Structure 1
Amino acid sequence: MMERGVIDRFEGEMAIIEIGGITKDFPRASLPHGIKAGDAVILEDGEIRLDSRETARKKQEIQQLMDELFE
């Protein structure tokens, strides 16, 4: 089963991922190298991978909101 989530934060060697409004802990070592808080991920078959398209979309959406706020 495929799930989508967002890296909420890191606590030591654990990554906290929000999936459908619920946070779950995963070993930081199970994430792709270079992933950071705020990145969107896909969890499937015990593997976690970066969802670069969704990450870029969310960053663009946030930038647009910031631009509107500071106009």
Structure 2
Amino acid sequence: MAYGIIDRFEGDMAIIETGDKIISIKRHLLPPYASEGDVIDLKSMKVDVAKTQSRKNKINRLMRDVWEDSD
């Protein structure tokens, strides 16, 4: 499956990073609750809640490690 991450919204467009490229799609094609940082299944245009949460957890762990090491 192809996935992308919502980078930002610009007007009625969603800017999505797919790993090797950045694409723009109409915002209305996404669920109304989709937000920046959500992982999107590009076939169904649905938020993959499990992948989104896993990604957020990984980012939080990395940030925590950086701040703990800075003392």
Instruction: Quickly name the TM-score band, shorter chain normalised.
Output: 0.7 to 0.9
The alignment-based identity, stated in percent, is 40
Name the one with the larger strand percent.
1
> Which residues in structure 2 correspond to 1:52-63 (within 5 Å)?
52-63=49-60
CA–CA distance in 1 between the matches of 2:9 and 2:20? 17
Unaligned runs of 5+ in 2: none
The list of structure 1 runs, each at least 4 consecutive aligned residues, that deviate by more than 6 angstroms after superposition, is none
Q: Please tell me the residue identity of whatever aligns with 2:22.
A: T
Equivalent residue number for residue 24 of structure 2? 25
Code of the residue aligned with 2:32 in structure 1: it is: H
Question: What is the TM-score of this pair, normalised by structure 1?
Answer: 0.87
Q: Secondary structure at the match of 1:33?
A: coil
Q: 1:20 Cα deviation (Å)?
A: 3.0
Match of 1:15 in 2: 14
Greater helix proportion: 2
Aligned-residue CA RMSD (Å): 1.0
Q: Deviations over 1:15-71 (max 9, x none)?
A: 011123211111111100111111101011xx3000111100110001101111111
How many residue pairs are counted as aligned between the two chains? 68
CA radius of gyration, larger in: 2
Consecutive unaligned residues in structure 1, runs of 5 or more: none
1:51 aligns with 2:55: no
TM-score computed with the length of structure 2 as normaliser: 0.87
Residue identity opposite 1:55 in structure 2: T
